[in-house]
Chain A
Amino acid sequence: MPMITYVQAGDGSEATVEVKDGLSVMDGSIANNLPGIVAECGGSCSCATCHVYVDEAFRELFGAASEEEWELLEFLDEVQPNSRLSCQLVVTAAADGLRVVVPENQG
């Protein structure tokens, strides 16, 4: 199973967990009760509370954010070019080794 590392921007702490193929990066955080990602809407691209920064090396793997996703992100104080909503990042074998940084504030 792909291993994904979640880094907390606030204190630098990190956790590496297994996330099943087909689940989202958000799902992996929820299942392991990792801090930061709130995921109020459960992954329907409605709420912008699952914001992460994606490692440069993996940005291409997930393709570009949809217009809707980017509109939710662009007004966040902590937005960066590599910002994504983690509910939209579906994990595949190729995502093994992915690192995402979780900003301190969500939504």
Chain B
Amino acid sequence: MTAEHTDPGAVVVVGGGHGGGTLVGLLRQLGHAAPVTLVGHEADAPYHRPPLSKKFHGDELEQPLKPAPFYAEQDIALRLGAEVVAIDRDARTVRLDDGSELAYGTLVLATGAAPRRLEVPGADLAGVLSLRTLDDARALRDGLRPGRRLVIVGGGYVGLEVAAVARSQGLEVTVLEREDRVLARVASPELSSILGAHHERHGTVVETGADVASFAGDEHGAVRAVVLADGREVPCDVALVGVGAVPRDDLARAAGLACEGGILVDAETRTADPAILAIGDVTRRPLGGAGELVRMESIPSATEQAKQAAHVIVGRDVPAADVPWFWSDQFDLKLKIAGLLRGDRPAVVRGDPASGRFTLFHLDGDVVRAVESANAPAEFMAGKKLIQRGDRVDVARLADVDVKLKDVVLSVPEPAASA
């Protein structure tokens, strides 16, 4: 079967996550009138992913990104439950798993990331779960009843968010982290320590340096314990594996696009093929320092790249990139984190972590490079601005809660036209 239309403006978006779902709406906002098709391998139309780990226990789990009539109203074709199996770059077509083909003028790869599997015996037992999709979250919700025992393998943000919710729902929760601290790859040592202790205060068992060797099953093929390398068994009814995600770049690889820990794109979502863009968790892009390529896994990053891609497609100037940031909710702590953590200098702490409101500033000399905040939206927003502007700050005053953050700046670049 061959593709029917060859409209040069036709856009095919592969992937129905935040990036893809946002992009199709933006294209219509920007007046793009040509056919737009979104192909998603899940059965669900694009939805908000943060509630999967933050609110999976209640009726706020399922939050569509757009209301159901949206796609028809905006003349966006949805192909759900469909997988793109190949890209023909010369013909500018993609082939779907049902054998049909779609022609594109521009192809946008927004294929996201998949949960990293733990390659140990027993990983496929019933009750060993991962969390990435709405279906995963439904399974998790159904498996977590009060009184049951949950073991979370991996102390990353998703694992800790689930731990907090499960603990609040009355489950017994153990977090097993292979590194010597939770959030080892994604947070500062200071924040790891504060959050680890916060979870323990809420009754979660947090074990670091814990190497998982296997999952032990019962006679029904259901998980009954997580077995550690030292032979100890941690009994459980449900085990959630949250050990990171790997970019779903197979399709791009097979099409000969440059991939290295994700699809390589420029600062405006372009691949080496002028007809193919890529956005979201699947990409590595220039961010931060000179020449550094970063793969972000966050909503703001996916949304930002969706906006960039939409502007590229309609031929408008691409808006400048924002400071990378993301958020996380754990118990009563609303965390917001901005910038890129580099180096290992101690953080400047503003506010008392025990009070539940604090901010950690990470500096390079007297310039703020990253900020990790809890229940401190003002400090977060101010910190993000400091990172963006590269202002030099008075480090001693930064830690003083009695000094307003606008008064810690040492030198202010000429204001452009601020209000």
* B300/A46 in contact, CB under 8 A: no
Q: How many residues belonging to B are interface residues under a CB distance threshold of 8 Å?
A: 29
Binding-face segment, A36-44, A55-63, A87-95: A36-44
A47→B300 CA distance, assembly (Å)? 9
Known: A40-B299, A46-B327. A33 touches B28 (CB 8 A): yes
A48→B384 CA distance, assembly (Å)? 12
- Least CB distance from B377 to A in Å reads 4
Would you call B63 an interface residue if the criterion is a C-beta within 8 Å of the partner chain's C-beta atoms? yes
Would you call B418 an interface residue if the criterion is a C-beta within 8 Å of the partner chain's C-beta atoms? yes
Would you call A77 an interface residue if the criterion is a C-beta within 8 Å of the partner chain's C-beta atoms? yes
- Least CB distance from B373 to A in Å reads 10
Would you call B382 an interface residue if the criterion is a C-beta within 8 Å of the partner chain's C-beta atoms? yes
Known: A31-B70, A42-B63. A75 touches B299 (CB 8 A): no
B378 is contacted by which of A71, A78, A107 (Cβ under 8 Å)? A71
Would you call B280 an interface residue if the criterion is a C-beta within 8 Å of the partner chain's C-beta atoms? no
Would you call A30 an interface residue if the criterion is a C-beta within 8 Å of the partner chain's C-beta atoms? yes
Would you call A72 an interface residue if the criterion is a C-beta within 8 Å of the partner chain's C-beta atoms? yes
A50→B280 CA distance, assembly (Å)? 21
Would you call A10 an interface residue if the criterion is a C-beta within 8 Å of the partner chain's C-beta atoms? no
* A41/B299 in contact, CB under 8 A: yes
Contact with A along B376-387 (1 / 0, CB 8 A): 111001100100
Would you call B303 an interface residue if the criterion is a C-beta within 8 Å of the partner chain's C-beta atoms? yes
Contact residues in A for B377 (Cβ distance below 8 Å):
68, 71-72
* B67/A48 in contact, CB under 8 A: no
Contact residues in A for B381 (Cβ distance below 8 Å):
48, 71-72, 74-76
Would you call B203 an interface residue if the criterion is a C-beta within 8 Å of the partner chain's C-beta atoms? no
Known: A31-B66, A31-B67, A33-B70. A78 touches B25 (CB 8 A): no
- Least CB distance from B356 to A in Å reads 13
B336 is contacted by which of A42, A46, A74 (Cβ under 8 Å)? A46
Would you call B29 an interface residue if the criterion is a C-beta within 8 Å of the partner chain's C-beta atoms? yes
Would you call B169 an interface residue if the criterion is a C-beta within 8 Å of the partner chain's C-beta atoms? no
Would you call B74 an interface residue if the criterion is a C-beta within 8 Å of the partner chain's C-beta atoms? yes
Would you call B50 an interface residue if the criterion is a C-beta within 8 Å of the partner chain's C-beta atoms? yes
- Least CB distance from B416 to A in Å reads 9
A15→B114 CA distance, assembly (Å)? 39
Known: A30-B66, A75-B378, A107-B322. A35 touches B29 (CB 8 A): yes
Contact residues in A for B419 (Cβ distance below 8 Å):
77-80
* B385/A75 in contact, CB under 8 A: yes
* A74/B418 in contact, CB under 8 A: no
Contact residues in B for A80 (Cβ distance below 8 Å):
419
* B327/A47 in contact, CB under 8 A: yes
- Least CB distance from B116 to A in Å reads 25
Mark out the residues of chain B between 24 and 43 whose CB falls within 8 Å of any chain A CB in the assembled complex: 25, 28-30
Contact residues in A for B418 (Cβ distance below 8 Å):
77
Most B CB within 10 A of own CB, among A30, A42, A71, A72: A42
Contact residues in A for B327 (Cβ distance below 8 Å):
41, 46-47
Mark out the residues of chain B between 46 and 87 whose CB falls within 8 Å of any chain A CB in the assembled complex: 48, 50-51, 63, 65-67, 70, 73-74
- Least CB distance from A64 to B in Å reads 16
A76→B28 CA distance, assembly (Å)? 27
Contact residues in A for B67 (Cβ distance below 8 Å):
30-31
Which 4 pairs from chain A and chain B are nearest by CB? A71-B378, A75-B381, A71-B377, A42-B48
Can you sample 20 A-B contacts with CB below 8 Å? A30-B66, A31-B70, A33-B25, A34-B29, A35-B30, A40-B299, A41-B327, A42-B48, A42-B63, A46-B334, A47-B300, A48-B381, A71-B377, A74-B378, A74-B381, A76-B381, A77-B418, A77-B419, A78-B419, A107-B300
